[in-house]
Homo-oligomer: A and B are copies of this chain.
Amino acid sequence: MADLLDFGSTPLLSLLPEGVSGRLRAAASIVEYDDGETIHSRGDAKPGLSIIRSGAVRFANPGADGSYVTTSILGEGHCFGEATLFARLPRAYDAIAEGQTVIEQITKTRFDRIFNEEPELARALVVAMTQRLYSVLDFLEDVRRLPLDVRTAKLIAGMERTAKHSGAVECSQSDLAFTLGVSRVSIGKALARLQDEGLIELGYGRIGVPDRKNLSDWVAARLPVEPLTRGE
Protein backbone atom coordinates (compact mmCIF):
# COMPACT_ATOMS: atom_id res chain seq x y z
CA MET A 1 0.00 0.00 0.00
CA ALA A 2 0.99 3.61 -0.35
CA ASP A 3 -0.04 6.50 1.84
CA LEU A 4 -0.94 10.13 1.94
CA LEU A 5 2.48 11.44 0.99
CA ASP A 6 2.63 9.08 -1.94
CA PHE A 7 -0.74 9.75 -3.51
CA GLY A 8 -0.89 13.36 -2.29
CA SER A 9 2.11 14.51 -4.25
CA THR A 10 3.62 14.13 -7.68
CA PRO A 11 6.72 11.91 -7.90
CA LEU A 12 9.88 13.91 -8.51
CA LEU A 13 10.69 11.90 -11.60
CA SER A 14 7.50 12.92 -13.37
CA LEU A 15 8.23 16.58 -12.62
CA LEU A 16 11.64 16.49 -14.26
CA PRO A 17 12.38 16.98 -17.95
CA GLU A 18 13.96 13.93 -19.58
CA GLY A 19 17.40 15.55 -19.67
CA VAL A 20 17.62 16.17 -15.96
CA SER A 21 16.31 12.81 -14.85
CA GLY A 22 18.81 11.27 -17.25
CA ARG A 23 21.67 13.20 -15.68
CA LEU A 24 20.53 12.13 -12.24
CA ARG A 25 20.39 8.52 -13.31
CA ALA A 26 23.85 8.74 -14.82
CA ALA A 27 25.22 10.18 -11.57
CA ALA A 28 23.54 7.59 -9.38
CA SER A 29 24.64 4.23 -8.19
CA ILE A 30 21.86 1.67 -8.41
CA VAL A 31 21.20 -0.46 -5.35
CA GLU A 32 18.72 -3.28 -5.23
CA TYR A 33 16.97 -4.37 -2.02
CA ASP A 34 14.90 -7.37 -1.09
CA ASP A 35 11.62 -7.08 0.74
CA GLY A 36 12.19 -5.96 4.32
CA GLU A 37 15.83 -5.02 3.78
CA THR A 38 17.08 -1.87 5.51
CA ILE A 39 18.10 0.92 3.14
CA HIS A 40 19.29 3.23 5.88
CA SER A 41 18.71 3.79 9.59
CA ARG A 42 17.69 6.82 11.58
CA GLY A 43 20.75 8.83 12.50
CA ASP A 44 22.83 7.89 9.45
CA ALA A 45 24.75 11.02 8.58
CA LYS A 46 25.83 10.42 4.97
CA PRO A 47 23.99 13.01 2.90
CA GLY A 48 22.54 12.26 -0.51
CA LEU A 49 19.39 12.03 -2.56
CA SER A 50 17.65 8.72 -3.18
CA ILE A 51 15.15 8.07 -5.93
CA ILE A 52 12.86 5.08 -6.00
CA ARG A 53 13.21 3.54 -9.44
CA SER A 54 10.89 0.64 -8.68
CA GLY A 55 9.20 -0.84 -5.63
CA ALA A 56 8.40 1.12 -2.49
CA VAL A 57 10.00 2.28 0.72
CA ARG A 58 8.55 2.32 4.22
CA PHE A 59 9.73 5.05 6.59
CA ALA A 60 9.39 4.17 10.24
CA ASN A 61 10.81 4.64 13.70
CA PRO A 62 10.81 2.55 16.82
CA GLY A 63 8.07 3.64 19.22
CA ALA A 64 8.37 3.91 22.98
CA ASP A 65 7.06 0.42 23.67
CA GLY A 66 9.17 -1.35 21.08
CA SER A 67 6.50 -1.06 18.41
CA TYR A 68 7.40 0.28 15.00
CA VAL A 69 5.66 3.47 13.90
CA THR A 70 5.38 3.99 10.15
CA THR A 71 5.37 7.62 9.07
CA SER A 72 4.98 7.17 5.36
CA ILE A 73 5.39 4.86 2.41
CA LEU A 74 6.62 6.19 -0.90
CA GLY A 75 6.45 4.47 -4.26
CA GLU A 76 7.99 4.68 -7.72
CA GLY A 77 9.42 7.97 -8.87
CA HIS A 78 9.46 9.58 -5.45
CA CYS A 79 12.63 10.83 -3.85
CA PHE A 80 13.81 10.92 -0.26
CA GLY A 81 16.75 12.23 1.69
CA GLU A 82 16.12 15.91 0.87
CA ALA A 83 16.57 16.84 4.51
CA THR A 84 20.12 15.49 4.51
CA LEU A 85 20.90 17.91 1.69
CA PHE A 86 18.87 20.98 2.54
CA ALA A 87 18.50 20.89 6.29
CA ARG A 88 21.85 19.15 6.89
CA LEU A 89 20.08 16.68 9.13
CA PRO A 90 20.90 12.98 9.42
CA ARG A 91 18.27 10.52 8.23
CA ALA A 92 15.20 10.97 10.40
CA TYR A 93 13.68 7.54 9.73
CA ASP A 94 14.63 3.97 9.15
CA ALA A 95 13.97 3.22 5.48
CA ILE A 96 12.89 -0.31 4.66
CA ALA A 97 12.23 -1.82 1.25
CA GLU A 98 8.65 -2.92 0.62
CA GLY A 99 8.94 -5.72 -1.86
CA GLN A 100 11.76 -5.95 -4.40
CA THR A 101 13.00 -2.37 -4.64
CA VAL A 102 15.51 -0.52 -6.78
CA ILE A 103 16.99 2.73 -5.48
CA GLU A 104 19.20 5.30 -7.20
CA GLN A 105 21.62 6.76 -4.70
CA ILE A 106 23.17 10.12 -5.56
CA THR A 107 25.94 11.51 -3.37
CA LYS A 108 25.72 15.07 -2.12
CA THR A 109 28.75 16.09 -4.21
CA ARG A 110 27.27 14.87 -7.45
CA PHE A 111 23.82 16.12 -6.58
CA ASP A 112 25.13 19.61 -5.84
CA ARG A 113 26.75 19.87 -9.24
CA ILE A 114 23.57 18.93 -11.08
CA PHE A 115 21.49 21.09 -8.75
CA ASN A 116 23.61 24.12 -9.61
CA GLU A 117 23.66 23.48 -13.35
CA GLU A 118 20.05 22.47 -13.89
CA PRO A 119 17.56 25.02 -12.58
CA GLU A 120 14.75 22.65 -13.52
CA LEU A 121 15.81 20.37 -10.69
CA ALA A 122 15.27 23.01 -8.01
CA ARG A 123 11.95 23.91 -9.57
CA ALA A 124 10.79 20.29 -9.51
CA LEU A 125 11.94 19.86 -5.94
CA VAL A 126 10.06 22.96 -4.82
CA VAL A 127 6.92 21.62 -6.44
CA ALA A 128 7.32 18.18 -4.88
CA MET A 129 8.07 19.55 -1.41
CA THR A 130 5.21 22.04 -1.56
CA GLN A 131 2.74 19.34 -2.53
CA ARG A 132 3.96 17.07 0.23
CA LEU A 133 3.79 19.84 2.80
CA TYR A 134 0.24 20.68 1.85
CA SER A 135 -0.92 17.09 1.94
CA VAL A 136 0.49 16.67 5.41
CA LEU A 137 -1.04 19.95 6.58
CA ASP A 138 -4.37 18.91 5.15
CA PHE A 139 -4.14 15.58 6.94
CA LEU A 140 -3.22 17.32 10.19
CA GLU A 141 -6.21 19.62 9.86
CA ASP A 142 -8.42 16.59 9.36
CA VAL A 143 -7.09 15.00 12.52
CA ARG A 144 -8.13 18.09 14.42
CA ARG A 145 -11.67 18.34 13.25
CA LEU A 146 -13.01 15.26 11.51
CA PRO A 147 -14.40 12.14 13.19
CA LEU A 148 -12.49 8.98 12.48
CA ASP A 149 -14.98 7.46 10.04
CA VAL A 150 -14.78 10.50 7.77
CA ARG A 151 -10.99 10.49 7.89
CA THR A 152 -10.99 6.79 7.11
CA ALA A 153 -13.32 7.28 4.16
CA LYS A 154 -11.19 10.16 2.86
CA LEU A 155 -8.04 8.06 3.09
CA ILE A 156 -9.64 5.14 1.27
CA ALA A 157 -10.99 7.45 -1.41
CA GLY A 158 -7.52 8.92 -1.92
CA MET A 159 -5.85 5.54 -2.07
CA GLU A 160 -8.40 4.12 -4.45
CA ARG A 161 -7.90 6.99 -6.85
CA THR A 162 -4.23 6.07 -7.32
CA ALA A 163 -4.53 2.31 -6.91
CA LYS A 164 -3.35 0.04 -9.69
CA HIS A 165 -6.69 -1.71 -9.99
CA SER A 166 -9.48 0.74 -9.40
CA GLY A 167 -12.55 -0.36 -7.48
CA ALA A 168 -10.60 -1.57 -4.50
CA VAL A 169 -7.72 -0.77 -2.17
CA GLU A 170 -5.21 -3.49 -1.31
CA CYS A 171 -4.26 -3.03 2.31
CA SER A 172 -4.88 -4.51 5.70
CA GLN A 173 -6.84 -2.79 8.42
CA SER A 174 -3.64 -2.65 10.46
CA ASP A 175 -2.00 -0.62 7.70
CA LEU A 176 -4.89 1.85 7.72
CA ALA A 177 -4.67 2.06 11.50
CA PHE A 178 -0.94 2.90 11.23
CA THR A 179 -1.50 5.57 8.62
CA LEU A 180 -4.28 7.22 10.57
CA GLY A 181 -2.41 6.82 13.84
CA VAL A 182 -5.17 4.95 15.68
CA SER A 183 -5.73 1.43 16.95
CA ARG A 184 -7.00 -1.44 14.89
CA VAL A 185 -10.15 -1.66 16.96
CA SER A 186 -11.06 1.94 16.15
CA ILE A 187 -10.45 1.39 12.46
CA GLY A 188 -12.55 -1.73 12.60
CA LYS A 189 -15.47 0.21 14.02
CA ALA A 190 -15.09 3.03 11.51
CA LEU A 191 -14.94 0.55 8.61
CA ALA A 192 -18.00 -1.26 9.91
CA ARG A 193 -19.92 2.02 9.90
CA LEU A 194 -18.81 2.78 6.35
CA GLN A 195 -19.85 -0.68 5.25
CA ASP A 196 -23.26 -0.21 6.88
CA GLU A 197 -23.64 2.92 4.75
CA GLY A 198 -22.92 0.81 1.69
CA LEU A 199 -19.82 2.85 0.84
CA ILE A 200 -17.23 0.07 1.02
CA GLU A 201 -17.05 -3.71 1.03
CA LEU A 202 -14.71 -5.28 3.53
CA GLY A 203 -12.53 -8.15 2.40
CA TYR A 204 -9.39 -9.94 3.44
CA GLY A 205 -6.47 -7.57 2.87
CA ARG A 206 -8.60 -5.43 0.64
CA ILE A 207 -11.43 -2.92 0.77
CA GLY A 208 -13.79 -2.73 -2.13
CA VAL A 209 -15.08 0.62 -3.36
CA PRO A 210 -18.20 -0.17 -5.39
CA ASP A 211 -18.88 3.46 -6.30
CA ARG A 212 -16.03 5.94 -6.19
CA LYS A 213 -18.23 8.99 -6.58
CA ASN A 214 -20.59 7.83 -3.88
CA LEU A 215 -17.73 7.61 -1.42
CA SER A 216 -16.21 10.98 -2.24
CA ASP A 217 -19.61 12.66 -2.15
CA TRP A 218 -20.22 11.20 1.30
CA VAL A 219 -16.87 12.57 2.45
CA ALA A 220 -17.39 15.98 0.83
CA ALA A 221 -20.75 16.36 2.55
CA ARG A 222 -19.00 15.97 5.90
CA LEU A 223 -16.15 18.40 5.32
CA PRO A 224 -16.58 21.77 7.01
CA VAL A 225 -15.20 23.56 3.93
CA GLU A 226 -15.47 23.15 0.19
CA PRO A 227 -12.66 21.02 -1.24
CA LEU A 228 -10.15 23.00 -3.31
CA THR A 229 -9.99 22.51 -7.04
CA ARG A 230 -6.85 23.02 -9.03
CA GLY A 231 -6.77 26.00 -11.35
CA GLU A 232 -6.96 25.83 -15.17
Q: Write the A61-104 contact mask toward B (1 if CB under 8 angstroms, else 0).
A: 11111000101100000000011001111101000000000000
Contacts of A47 in B (CB 8 A): 231
Query: Are B230 and A141 in contact (CB-based, < 8 A)?
Result: no
Taking each of A63, A126, A222, which has the highest tally of chain B beta carbons within 10 Å of its own beta carbon?
Answer: A126
| In the complex, residue of chain B having the shortest beta-carbon distance to the beta carbon of A225 | B61
Contacts of A144 in B (CB 8 A): 69, 181
Contacts of A43 in B (CB 8 A): 226, 228
- Size of A's binding interface in residues, CB under 8 A: 54
Query: Are B145 and A63 in contact (CB-based, < 8 A)?
Result: yes
Query: Are B88 and A130 in contact (CB-based, < 8 A)?
Result: no
| In the complex, residue of chain B having the shortest beta-carbon distance to the beta carbon of A230 | B88
Query: Are A83 and B134 in contact (CB-based, < 8 A)?
Result: yes
Min CB distance, A227 to chain B, in Å? 10
Q: How far does the alpha carbon of A226 sit from the alpha carbon of B89 in the complex, in Å?
A: 13
| In the complex, residue of chain B having the shortest beta-carbon distance to the beta carbon of A223 | B64
Decide: A86 near B230, CB < 8 A? Known: A140-B139, A181-B143.
no
Min CB distance, A30 to chain B, in Å? 25
Query: Are A90 and B228 in contact (CB-based, < 8 A)?
Result: yes
Query: Are B145 and A69 in contact (CB-based, < 8 A)?
Result: yes
Q: How far does the alpha carbon of A230 sit from the alpha carbon of B43 in the complex, in Å?
A: 10
Decide: A228 near B89, CB < 8 A? Known: A82-B126, A126-B129.
yes
Q: How far does the alpha carbon of A228 sit from the alpha carbon of B90 in the complex, in Å?
A: 7
A-B contact pairs, 22 of them (CB 8 A): A61-B224, A62-B224, A64-B222, A69-B144, A69-B145, A71-B141, A72-B137, A82-B130, A86-B130, A86-B131, A87-B131, A88-B232, A89-B230, A90-B228, A90-B229, A92-B134, A92-B228, A116-B119, A126-B126, A129-B129, A133-B133, A136-B140
A→B interface (CB under 8 Å)? 42-43, 45, 47, 61-65, 69, 71-72, 82-83, 86-90, 92, 115-116, 119, 122-123, 125-127, 129-134, 136-141, 143-146, 181, 222, 224-226, 228-232
| 10 nearest A-B residue pairs (beta carbon) | A122-B122, A129-B129, A144-B181, A64-B224, A86-B130, A86-B127, A133-B133, A88-B231, A125-B126, A63-B145
